[in-house]
Amino acid sequence: MQMRSNDLFSRSRKVLPGGVSSPVRSFRPYPFFTSSAHGSRLFTEDGRELIDYCMAYGPLIFGHTPSFLLEFVKDQIFKGTVFGTPHLAELELAEEIIRAVPSMEMVRFVNSGGEAAMSAIRLSRAFTKRDVVVKFDGCYHGAVDSLLVNGVGIKKYPASDGIPTTLLDKTKVIPFNDFSELDGINEDVACVIVEPVMGNMGVIPPEKGFLQEVRRACDEAGAILIFDEVITGFRLSRGGAQRVFNIKPDITLLGKVIGGGFPVGVFGGKRELMEMVAPAGRVYNAGTFNGNPVTMSAGLAVLRKLEDHIYSDLEFKTEFLCKGIEEIFGDADIPIQINRIGSMFTIFFTQNAVKDAESARRSRVDRFQKFHSLMLERGVFLPPSQFECCFLSTAHVDKDIEETLQATLSAVNVDGW
C-alpha cells in the first residue's frame, strides 16, 4: 500500500531534526501523520482510523475535540486570541484551580510544564537561599537544564549534551520509592521535585508512606517540596495526586489537562512563596503568551466539566481494560506487569514488580516495541515508548475497549514472542 506518512516523514526529516518536533514522536520505521482526531480516535494521512491511548501524552481527559470545548474556544477566538493585558478568563481559571487544589494559594500561568518546573526551581532557590535540587531517577519535569541529569529509557549521565557541569553539580538524583536514600535531603537542599505518581518511566505509583516521608524529610531540612502534577493534576482527581495521597506540597506544577488541549503550564503554592514572583517580588518570570486567553478559556471549560463521578467512571473502564489484557497475556504465558492508577496505565514486559526507574529499565523493551507495532497494525495506537503511560478519556467507550482486547488477543497469538 502507498503510505503517504512515509513520504511526509522523508520530507520532514529535511526540515525538522529527526523529522519530529519532540523526540518521543519518532518511531520505526516511520511515525504516521495525523490528519484529524475525534473522541478516542485518530485519523491518519494514510486513511487509517486508530484507537488512541497516547492521547497527546496526557492533556485530553475528554478525548479529542469534544464539542463543548470547541464552542467555548470559538467564542473566545472571536473576542481575541492574545491581549497583552489582564483578562477575565485567566482570573477565573486561577480561582477554579485554587478551589480544587488547596495547597495552591496563588498561581502563575506559563506556557509549558517545563517552564513551570524551571520557574519553581528558581523560586525555591530564592526562598531558601540555597542551590541544590534533589530529583528522583526516572522522573521527568520537562527539558530543563538542571533536571536533565539521568536519562529515562537508557540511564546515561547527563541526559543531554550542552548542560554546564556547574549546573549538573547542583542536582542530586535519588531513587524513587527508596526510603533509605531520603537522608540525602539535607540542609544544602533548596527543593525536592517529584512526580507523586511517576508517569515518565511508565506508571509507577508511590509505595505506602513514601510521599509522607519525602514531606517529612523536606520539613526537617527546610527544603521546598515541589509536586510535579503536570500529568496527575485534574487527572487522578480534581485535587490531583496530592488529594489522593493526602500530602500538601509547598509548590505544585500543573500543565496538560488544565490547558484543555492548548499549550500551558502553571506553578503555584503558598502565598508567602508566590508573593516573591515578579512583579510582586524579585523572582523573575514573564511570557508573551502567559495566561493566553484561548488557553485559559479552554482550560476553564474543561475544569468546570470535571465532576467527581468522571474519575470513578474512568477508573472502572481502565481497570476492566487492564484486567482483560492481563488475562490474555497470562493465557499465553508471556510475563507482563501492568501498573495502573486512575485512568493511567503501563504494560511492562517483565515478571518482576516495577517500583522504580531501575526495575522499569530491566523490562523487555524489545517485546514492548513488538507489541506496539502489532497493535498499530491492528488499529490501536499506544505511546511508542515503553516508558510512557497509556491514557483513557471519557470518550473511550465499551466498543473501543472490546476492539482493543480483540487486537491484543490477535497480537499475542502472533508467533515469535
Q: Within 237-276, which residues bind ligand PLP (CB under 6 A)?
A: 255, 265
- Confirm or reject binding of residue 199 to ligand PLP (CB under 6 A): yes
Distances (CA, A) of 128 to 218, 222, 274, 404: 12, 8, 13, 50
Per the residue annotation, which of 52, 137, 228, 400 is the catalytic one?
A: 228
**Candidates 46-54, 195-203, 394-402, 407-415; binding stretch for ligand PLP (CB under 6 A):** 195-203
Per the residue annotation, which of 53, 57, 140, 311 is the catalytic one?
A: 140
Gyration radius from the chain CA atoms? 21
User: How far, rounded to the nearest angstrom, does the alpha carbon of residue 292 sit from its chain's CA centroid?
Assistant: 21
- Taking CB under 6 A as the criterion, the residue among 26, 112, 337, 393 binding ligand PLP is 112
Query: Which residue, 354, 352, 384, 356, is CA-closest to 370?
Result: 384
Catalytic: 256?
Answer: yes
- Confirm or reject binding of residue 108 to ligand PLP (CB under 6 A): no
Catalytic: 53?
Answer: no
C-beta of 22 vs 85, nearer to ligand PLP? 22
- Confirm or reject binding of residue 388 to ligand PLP (CB under 6 A): no
Nearest distance from C-beta of residue 414 to ligand PLP, angstroms: 32
Which H or E run includes 403? Answer: helix 398-412
Sort 102 into a burial class: Cβ within 10 Å, 0-12 / 13-18 / 19+. exposed
- Confirm or reject binding of residue 114 to ligand PLP (CB under 6 A): yes
Phi, psi of 367 (to 5 degrees): -70, -40
Number of residues that bind ligand PLP (CB under 6 A): 15
Nearest distance from C-beta of residue 231 to ligand PLP, angstroms: 4
Nearest distance from C-beta of residue 114 to ligand PLP, angstroms: 3
Q: Which residues contact 40 (CB under 8 A, 6 or more apart)?
A: 51, 52, 63, 64, 393, 395, 396, 397, 400
What whole-number distance in Å separates Cα of residue 118 and Cα of residue 294?
23
Per the residue annotation, which of 53, 57, 256, 311 is the catalytic one?
A: 256
C-beta of 66 vs 114, nearer to ligand PLP? 114
- Confirm or reject binding of residue 195 to ligand PLP (CB under 6 A): yes
- Confirm or reject binding of residue 411 to ligand PLP (CB under 6 A): no
**341 and 203 Cβ atoms separated by less than 8 Å:** yes
Which H or E run includes 52? Answer: strand 49-52
Q: Within 132-151, which residues bind ligand PLP (CB under 6 A)?
A: 140-142
- Confirm or reject binding of residue 113 to ligand PLP (CB under 6 A): yes
- Confirm or reject binding of residue 383 to ligand PLP (CB under 6 A): no
**159 and 137 Cβ atoms separated by less than 8 Å:** no
Residue nearest to ligand PLP according to CB distances in the complex: 113
Residue whose cell numbers read 473502564: 317
What whole-number distance in Å separates Cα of residue 370 and Cα of residue 336?
14
Nearest distance from C-beta of residue 267 to ligand PLP, angstroms: 11
C-beta of 147 vs 314, nearer to ligand PLP? 147
Nearest distance from C-beta of residue 318 to ligand PLP, angstroms: 18
**Candidates 177-185, 228-236, 319-327, 354-362; binding stretch for ligand PLP (CB under 6 A):** 228-236
Nearest distance from C-beta of residue 121 to ligand PLP, angstroms: 12
User: Residue 143 corresponds to which cell in the numbers above?
Assistant: 527539558
Angle at which helix 293-305 crosses helix 88-100, to 10 degrees, equals 40
C-beta of 134 vs 230, nearer to ligand PLP? 230
Strand 189-194 and strand 132-136: the pairing is: parallel
What whole-number distance in Å separates Cα of residue 254 and Cα of residue 97?
10
- Confirm or reject binding of residue 59 to ligand PLP (CB under 6 A): no
Binding stretches for ligand PLP (CB under 6 A): 112-114, 117, 140-142, 195, 199-200, 228, 230-231, 255, 265
Any idea which residues carry the catalytic annotation? Answer: 140, 228, 256
